[in-house]
Structure 1
Amino acid sequence: MTQKLFNIKQNRHFRSVLRNNLTEPEKILWQRIRSKQLGVKFRRQHGIGKYIVDFYCPEKKLVIELDGDSHYNHDTQAYDRKRDDFMRSQGLQVIRFTNQDIMKKLDAVLEVIHQSIQTPK
């Protein structure tokens, strides 16, 4: 029996809590990528394995992660590398942005996302 990869039942409540408590940068980005505004569907706070990613586009196998201040210490960076390695081992592309990128350079962020969507894998 293969193990379920997406949205495992044990994380359902936590995913819901995260969706209902988005950070301000997550809210801003979500308003610009939701409802197929970039031509593809994104999901927010999507479970992949034991992890919950900020945004996921199943059609393009694209994970978008937003990093706040807590991501700037050694332990968290090591954890993020482990998560990213897992995502890549599942054939997923991961792109990361800082909260400051969203707040100050949103158009550049959207361009990177758009380019990632357009690039054939």
Structure 2
Amino acid sequence: MDDPVTFARKLRREQTLPERRFWGLVRPWREAGLHWRRQAPIGPYVVDFVCKARNLIVEIDGDTHYSEAGLAHDESRTAYLAERGHRVLRFTNSEVTQGGEGVYTVLMGVLGEPGAER
């Protein structure tokens, strides 16, 4: 695998449909000044989305995440990130692409109303 920075750049250029849709879902918070990064290196990992001001990481998981190996990898990855103070939210590709209302509702619960200080 490439170094995390090179790999992150590649992932940003080759963004998936669910990742593009999620980027649109967080737009109200981005426009309100809450900074988000896509495909950001954190330690040995590249996370899908991170809001450092809120120590929030969002992962959009495809089918490969639901094999035994994928679940074990995600568990150790989440533990690593949590040990460093991050909260990790995981959504499936279909949760994001099929409307995204549930994802938006979860984000509202975690981040509050876009533009409201929390």
TM over 0.5, shorter chain:
yes
Deviation at residue 45 of structure 1 after TM alignment: 0.2
Unaligned residue ranges in structure 2 (runs of 5+): 113-117
- Note if contact 2:35-2:52 (Cα within 8 Å) is conserved in structure 1: yes
Q: Give yes or no for the alignment of 1:29 onto 2:27.
A: no
What is the total number of aligned residue pairs between the two structures?
Answer: 110
CA distance in structure 2 between the partners assigned to 1:113 and 1:84 by the alignment: 18
- Aligned ranges 1:55-66 → 2 under 5 Å: 55-66=49-60
- Note if contact 2:25-2:100 (Cα within 8 Å) is conserved in structure 1: no
User: Structure 1 length as normaliser, TM-score?
Assistant: 0.84
- Note if contact 2:65-2:71 (Cα within 8 Å) is conserved in structure 1: yes
Unaligned residue ranges in structure 1 (runs of 5+): 1-9
**Percent of paired sites with the same residue:** 34
Cα RMSD, aligned residues only? 1.7
CA distance in structure 2 between the partners assigned to 1:49 and 1:95 by the alignment: 18
User: Structure 2 length as normaliser, TM-score?
Assistant: 0.86
Name the SS of the counterpart of 1:59 in structure 2. helix
Deviation at residue 38 of structure 1 after TM alignment: 6.1
Partner of 1:6: none
Matched AA of 1:18: L
